[in-house]
Amino acid sequence: MKFIRRVLLALSVASAVAGVLRFKGKGTAAIKQGGWRKITGQK
């Protein structure tokens, strides 16, 4: 019983840490220093 409780505790701590890392991370930022220009197929 004690073992199961420890496993559950470890799993919940691991998922909490993973959740924080997953959602606190920054998303991809928009390009601010340039962009793409089509060089072929321009009409």
Partner 1 sequence: MIGIIGTGVVGSRVAETLCSFSHPQIYLYDSQQVVAQRLATRLNGRDTQLTVVTRDEMKSVKVVVLACPSPHMAISRELLESGVSVVSTSDDIADCLNLLSLTQIAKQNNATIIIGAASSPGMSSLIVRQLAESFDTIDEVHVALHGTGGPACARQHHRALSGQSIGWHDDEWLRRPAGSGRELCWFPEPVGAYDCYRGELPDPLLIKRAFPELGRVTARVTATRRDRVFSRVPMLIPPQAEGGMGGLRVEVRGMKNAARLVDVVGVAERVGQVAGVVAAVTAQAVSSREITTIGAHALGESSLPNSSLLTKITNAGINLHSFVRA
User: Where does this chain bind partner 1 (CB under 8 A)?
Assistant: 28, 31-41
Which residue number, 4 or 42, has a Cβ lying nearer to partner 1?
42
The least CB distance from residue 31 to partner 1, in Å, is: 6
The least CB distance from residue 9 to partner 1, in Å, is: 25
d(CA 24, CA 18): 10
The least CB distance from residue 18 to partner 1, in Å, is: 11
d(CA 27, CA 43): 35
Residue 18 token pair: 């993973």
- 3-state class (DSSP) for residue 24: helix
